A = this chain, B = another copy of it.
Amino acid sequence: MISKKAKYAINALVHLAKKHNQGPILISEIAEQERIPQKFLEAILLELKRDGIVSSKKGKGGGYYLLRNPEEVNMADVIRLIDGPIALLPCVSYKFYERCEECKDEVTCGIRDMFLEVRHQTVALLKEATLEKIIKREQALCQKPI
């Protein structure tokens, strides 16, 4: 499971994506409408800013806005930024590799080989999951007949 923090980050990003190119959006607006504790959201947005996904403007008329286009922001990047590895085992992580302490021979480890495939497929799926696609899915669900 991803953390609540990561979920909040995704909620906030979808919110910003829906208002892309409409100027800065207030933290307070996002917090209220997405039901995220405001102070917590502040910290999350700062992380997203440090990573270059969003940017901000201070003072009156300020707020946050998406720096990339909605089709360029995917779930793999967001989850890795907030939560760390997507892989189920440290030894199959691409961005956060660590040896399994108890492992005798990594190269011939059948468990590792298996979970390498799982990670590969999961990352592929999460890379495809962009803000744009999430919004499109939402629209499709809203228009679906009973």
Contact = CB atoms under 8 A, between A and B. Distances in A.
Number of copies: 2
Contact of A1 (B88, B104, B126): B88
A134 to B, nearest CB: 4
Nearest to A110: B138
Interface string A82-125: 00110111100100000011101001111101110110011001
A43 interface: no
A113 B138 contact: yes
B88 A110 contact: no
A8 B100 CA distance: 11
Q: How large is the interface on A (under 10, 10 to 19, 20 to 34, 35 or more residues)?
A: 35 or more
A57 interface: no
A44 interface: no
Contacts of A100: 7
26 contacts: A1-B89, A1-B90, A7-B89, A7-B111, A10-B111, A11-B102, A11-B111, A35-B101, A35-B104, A75-B114, A107-B141, A108-B138, A108-B141, A109-B141, A110-B135, A110-B137, A110-B138, A110-B139, A110-B141, A111-B134, A114-B137, A117-B125, A118-B126, A121-B121, A121-B125, A122-B122
Given A10-B111, A110-B139, 9 more contacts: A1-B84, A2-B88, A7-B89, A8-B102, A34-B102, A75-B114, A110-B134, A113-B134, A121-B122
